[in-house]
Every structure is written in structure tokens, then in C-alpha cells.
Amino acid sequence: MTVLLIAEINGANLQADATAKALAAAATLGAVDILVAGEGVGAAASAAASFAGVARVLVADHAVLGRQLAEPMAELIATLAARYTHVIGPATAGLKSILPRVAGRLDVMILSDVTAILDADTFERPIYAGNAIQTVRSADSIKVATIRTAAFAPAPRGGGAPIEPIEVTVSTSAASHWVEDRLSLADRPELSSAGIVVSGGRGVGSKENFALIEQLADKLGAAVGASRAAVDAGYAPNDRQVGQTGKVVAPALYVAVGISGAIQHLAGMKDSRLIVAINKDEDAPIFQIADYGLVGDLFQAVPELVERL
Amino acid sequence: MKILVPVKRVVDYNVKIRVRPDGSGVELANVKMSMNPFDEIALEEAIRLKEKGAASEVVALSIGAAPAQETLRTALAMGADRAILVETAPGEDVEPLAVAKLIAAVAREEAAGLVLCGKQAIDNDMNATGQMLAAILDWPQATFASEIRIEAGAAQVTREVDGGLQVIGVALPAVISVDLRLNEPRYASLPNIMKAKKKPLAIRPAGEFGLDIAPRLTVVKTVEPPARKGGVKAGSVAELVSKLKDEAGVL
Ligand SMILES: Cc1cc2nc3c(=O)[nH]c(=O)nc-3n(C[C@H](O)[C@H](O)[C@H](O)COP(=O)(O)OP(=O)(O)OC[C@H]3O[C@@H](n4cnc5c(N)ncnc54)[C@H](O)[C@@H]3O)c2cc1C
Ligand SMILES: Cc1cc2nc3c(=O)[nH]c(=O)nc-3n(C[C@H](O)[C@H](O)[C@H](O)COP(=O)(O)OP(=O)(O)OC[C@H]3O[C@@H](n4cnc5c(N)ncnc54)[C@H](O)[C@@H]3O)c2cc1C
């Protein structure tokens, strides 16, 4: 088995945590080559080469790949794919966009959000917002899969894989072009990799009040998350949404504040090691899965919590 | 410009699904079915584009067994001009790759200028069909759209990505998959539900297209995830802090 692992690159930077977790999954299948694609990605390639258990790092450095747009990325990956049994990447927004397109080009199915690899052909993946786990076997010659990073521990550092530049011959078509990024400030730990996450819901009531959630997060060194209702109401930016259609997290500690616990929200956090819920409604469904619950008004409880920690 | 909107009939998002105890799948008998919520959003956007004069016709398309006609009637009641059902056998598993091939065939026949689909169906959660469709048609794609502007043969799309938002431009024809915050879909009014009964709904057997739509994946089994039990309630903030420190050891 030979695996092509697509590194998650943002701009020119390696997203080390997501890539290392997908690497841990890929390494169970066989020898792993990592593809680092982008513009000016030399440092990212060196970082990828330092993971343990990597056969080679292939570097595709070209302006056409600079924003990792789906069309040139898929074209590049599809041309490399023939030499591999598996093409795998972390289930980031970027690769969830690119890898199904690769599969479409190769006329094979995609395996989305894989949570366990049982053997070379057999995979587990959640369906229905994680309310069922399906085991599927693929008959395709090349398996293309995205890996749910929350389900794997990152591969360790300590390798020194050779770095090989590859020629980039993809078409520079004008079909799509980048206009701008409007990214949130990265002033706190990243949601998908943080050890502690504090999330606020509709109960927080306003964008101003959301500062309470941020204070608690800062006190705990935590990342900030939100329910869809809180994002829709503008209390928090979209990239903070946890759930079926947002990010899936599994931190050591997840604190849900003013969140009722709809199945779509639970889909994104129910595999957290320890769940704490603060809600004024003692019948809120979130208490059915919380290890520790506190029934009370968050406007009293959260400031007191910040004080006592 | 003609807009094609693929709509999928799925278990309603409010239903707590049950896994069959024998591991053969999810219980679908006597369960409330609805249009996939993302597809309502895609359809709403298509209708708004038509209302603004950016599109001439909105065609709803579903791939599935006969009951998907109901979903298509809902699409017609919301404002689609006509509908197409590509009919598959009851209980037949149509994977995103096969769905994408069938949508591609219809998009070519119809000479669609834009396909607006949901970013994911809430049953299989694959988040794949739009991207596969774009690959098969060799059209550009813009996934996870939270804002769409159509001008001069191109679309400017704001996308929800991991770090925030990204804006890209795609030349038309293109495939755009929509995210939750693009719009609030309208409800179909009673008069429109009545009118929808008279709008054209074509039924085409999937076999007519002569495509390889056999599944590539075999479902070995479907099980419930390990259940998580509720824990204890703390009587005060002080008790919560001490439990986190002493009992759980997470702080
Ligand atoms: C297709 C689809 C996809 C979805 N995807 C997601 C997703 O990815 N993520 C997600 O989160 N949701 C998602 N949802 C939405 C989901 O169904 C719920 O609507 C949402 O999670 C509710 O958010 P909430 O818990 O913040 O709000 P609510 O359900 O309104 O709950 C607010 C809670 O705050 C409590 N509260 C109010 N005031 C206080 C106070 N002063 N002190 C303490 N507690 C208080 C209330 O008791 C209540 O329990 C999706 C829905 C659909 C249809
Ligand atoms: C054992 C089994 C039996 C099944 N039986 C049936 C069945 O009888 N009938 C059936 O329809 N499905 C059936 N399915 C589901 C079928 O496998 C899914 O349609 C397919 O896997 C697509 O995945 P997804 O919906 O997660 O796609 P996603 O890629 O998440 O969907 C994204 C978007 O693509 C579009 N789309 C996807 N599917 C369709 C569609 N069918 N029609 C129109 N637009 C679509 C929508 O715009 C949607 O928002 C069955 C699945 C299994 C496992």
C-alpha cells in the first residue's frame, strides 16, 4: 500500500496539527508520501518532513497553487494519484472542497470524514450527524478519503524525510480566481486542536455579552466556540461554529454555556473527554450528555467561575 | 440563464433517527421526510436570482425513488418553474458519484448556466456531490457559499472556510454549493402549493441515461455510536470548580 497524504496548507503555512492527525491515520495503511502544494512552501515542506514515518515529501511550488483553489489542486492531485492506492487528507474546509473533486476526476467514490480505518478497503464514518456509524468497504482501485481529525492523535515529530520538488504542469485557466480572505483574528488557541473549548449559545444574548465567554476561555487557555444560533445572530464569527455543519472537536474539556444541546450541535462535540454545561433550564438536553452540569443563570455563573479559577 | 437545483429527500432534521438493531441500517419506515435543509437554501437563492432578473428559469431535480416527487412538489411550491425526477429503484443506494453523473447529464441536456446545490445532505453527510459534479462537468466550483453575486457571466462567492471567510470569483457555468447563512428560505404559501400541482414534473428512469451508477461502496454494517451518559449536577460554582479540579483533574 502506498498513500499520498495531502498536507493542509493555508497560504504558505503548514497546518501541522490537522496534517499530523491525518498522517497518523494514513500511516496505518503503508508508506506515506506527503504532498505540500502552494506557493513559497519551502518552510512548510521542511515542517512536513519532520514528522515521523514519512517516506518522502513532494513539493509542488507554483503560483497557480498559491491559494489552493480547488480546480488546479484537484488537477495536480489527480495526475499524481495513479501511483498510489490511497489519497488522503484531513477533513478541513479546504480539502473537503478539493478531494471530492479529485475523486470525481478519477471516477471513484469519496470517503468523507473517516473516523477509523479497519483495513485497506474498509472504513468507518459517521452519518446522520453522528447518530449512526457506518462501516463501508470500497471496491475502487484508488481510495480517496478525508479524515476526521478529532478521531486521531497526531503523528509525532522526529523524522527526516527527503524533500523532492515535483514539476507542476496544471493549466492556469481563468475559470476561478481568488479575490480576498476575511479571516478572524487568530488571537486564541485554534478551535480544532485546542485542549479546552468554551462555547457560547443563544443564551449569551448579544455580541457584547459574548465577551464573558471569551474571558472564561482566556482564563482556561481555551479556544472559543459557538452554536449555530449564536453565529447566525452575529455573536461570534462563522469559523467558531461547532456541530454537524461546523467544526468537529474532541478536546479534553468542553464547556457549553447557554447552549440547549440540539443534535446538530452535539454532533460536533459529543466525543469530548469531559463535558461541562451551564444552562438555566434544568431540562435542557445538553445535561443528558454533560459530565458536570450547573443549572443557573450564566450571567452570574460565568463571572463567578472566572473569579474562582 | 437557467439554474438547476438538485434537491434531496432526507429524514427531517428534527427526527431522532434509530439504528436497526441488526446493524442493517437506519430505520426509514414511517419516518418524516423533508427536503434537505441546505437544498431549501439553494432553491431560495435560485428563486431570488430569478426575481432579480439574473436567471430566466429555475429547474429542480431530484435523484431517488418515486416518493421524491413530493420533495419536488415542495420545490415547485416554493417557486421552481419545473421539476425533473431521475427515478431509481426503491431502496437502491445512489452514491454521490452516481448522483453527480446523473446531475451532470441533466445539466448538459438542459444547458444549465449554474448548478446550485446544498453543501451536504444531512443524512449521509458526505459533502461531496457538488464537487464531484464540478469535476465531471469540468466546471469551476465554489463550495460553502454564504453570499453569491452574479454579474457579467461570472459569480463572486463568499465562502465559509476554516479561518473565516474567503471570496473567490468563478466563471459561469459553475457549480456552487451553499452553506446555512446564505439566506432564510421562504415557506410555500397555500395558493402556491395549489399552483405547484399544475407545474410540469418530468419523470425519467435513471437507466435511460446509460451511465455506470452502480455503488462503489458496500455498507458492511451500521451501528449506534457509544452512548454517553449524563453525569452529575453541581449545586454551585464553587462545587463545580472543585469537581473539575479534584474529581476530574482537568484544571
Ligand atoms: C441543517 C442544520 C444544520 C445545523 N448545524 C448546526 C451546527 O453545526 N451547530 C449548531 O450548534 N447548530 C446547528 N444547527 C442548529 C441546531 O438545530 C440548533 O438550532 C442550535 O444548535 C441551537 O443553538 P443554541 O443551543 O445556542 O440555542 P437554543 O436552542 O435557543 O438554546 C439556548 C439555551 O440557552 C439557555 N439560556 C438562555 N438564557 C440563559 C441564561 N441567562 N443562563 C443560562 N442559560 C441560558 C436556554 O435555557 C437554552 O437551553 C443546525 C440546524 C440545521 C437544520
Ligand atoms: C443502504 C442505503 C440505501 C439508500 N437508499 C436510498 C434510496 O433509496 N434513495 C435515495 O435517494 N438515497 C438512498 N440512499 C442515500 C444515498 O446513498 C445518498 O443519496 C448518497 O450517498 C448521497 O450522499 P449525500 O446525500 O451525503 O451527498 P452530499 O454530497 O452530502 O449532498 C450534497 C448535495 O448534493 C445534492 N444531492 C445529493 N443527493 C441527491 C439526490 N439524490 N438528488 C438530488 N440532489 C442530490 C443536494 O443538493 C445535496 O445538498 C441510500 C443509502 C444507503 C446507505
* Least confident residue range of A1-5, A264-268, B26-30, B153-157: B26-30
- The reply to whether residue B144 touches residue A182, judged by beta carbons under 8 angstroms, is no
Phi and psi, residue A3, nearest 5°: -115, 135
pLDDT of residue A207: 97
State how beta strands B164-171 and B154-161 pair. antiparallel
Distance CA B161, CA A9 (A): 13
ipTM: 0.94
Ligand 2 pocket test, candidate residues B45, B122, B129, most atoms within 8 A of CB: B129
Q: Which of B16, B17, B164 is facing A184, going by the closest CB pair?
A: B164
Give residue B91's pLDDT.
Answer: 84
What are the sequence ranges of the domains in chain B? 2-217
Question: Which three cell numbers mark A147?
Answer: 479524515
Q: What is the pLDDT of residue B251?
A: 82
Q: How many angstroms away from the CA of B70 is the closest CA of chain A?
A: 21
Asked if B218 reaches chain A (Cβ–Cβ under 8 Å), the answer is: yes
The reply to whether domains A2-165 and A191-308 share a CATH topology is yes
Q: Give the closest residue to A227 by CA, choosing from A286, A292, A282, A183.
A: A286
For domain A191-308, the CATH architecture is: 3-Layer(aba) Sandwich (3.40)
pTM check: above 0.80: yes
Q: Which of A104, A111, A264 sits opposite B131 (nearest CB)?
A: A104
- Interface touch B224/A253, C-beta < 8 Å: no
Chain A residues lying within 8 Å of B120, measured CB to CB:
245
pLDDT more than 70, % of chain A: 100
Contact A70 B95 (CB under 8 A): no
Q: What residues does B234 pair with on adjacent strands? A: A294
Contact A239 B240 (CB under 8 A): no
> What are the helix (H) ranges across chain A?
16-27, 42-49, 70-81, 93-106, 210-220, 228-232, 263-266, 298-308
Q: Which atom of ligand 1 lies nearest, measured to the CA of A245?
A: 8
Going A44 to A26 to A101 to A15, the CA torsion angle's sign is negative
pLDDT, residue B200, reads: 98
B230 — alpha (psi -120 to 50), left (phi > 0) or beta? beta
**B44 contact partners, CB below 8 Å, separation of at least 6:** B78, B182, B183, B184, B185, B186
pLDDT tens digits in sequence order for chain B, 251 residues long: 999 999 999 999 999 999 999 999 999 989 999 999 999 999 999 999 999 999 999 999 999 999 999 999 999 999 999 999 999 999 887 999 999 999 999 999 999 999 999 999 998 888 999 999 999 999 999 999 999 999 989 999 999 999 899 999 999 999 999 999 999 999 999 999 999 999 999 999 999 999 999 999 999 999 999 888 888 999 999 999 999 999 998 88
- Distance from the Cα of B80 to chain A's closest Cα (Å) equals 26
Nearest Cβ partner of A97 from B19, B131, B163? B131
- Residue-wise pLDDT tens digits, A272-282: 999 999 999 99
Q: Is B153 on the interface with A (CB under 8 A)?
A: no
Whose cell is 447552549? That residue is A259
pLDDT level of residue A57 (50, 70, 90 thresholds): very high
Q: How confident is the model at residue A294 (pLDDT cuts 50, 70, 90)?
A: very high
Residue B169 in grid coordinates:
470569483
Q: Which of A307, A291, A212 is nearest to A257 (CA)?
A: A212
CA-B25 nearest atom, ligand 2: 1
Q: How far is A279 from chain B (nearest CA, A)?
A: 11
What is the reported pLDDT for B152?
A: 87
Q: Is B238 in Cβ contact with A103 (below 8 Å)?
A: no
Q: Which CATH class is domain A2-165?
A: alpha beta
Average pLDDT over chain A reads: 96
pLDDT value for B215: 94
Domain-wise residue ranges, chain A: 2-165, 191-308
Distance CA A12, CA A36 (A): 9
Query: Tell me, what's the pLDDT at A184?
Result: 85
What letter does residue A230 receive in the DSSP assignment? Answer: H
Architecture (CATH level 2) of domain B2-217: 3-Layer(aba) Sandwich (3.40)
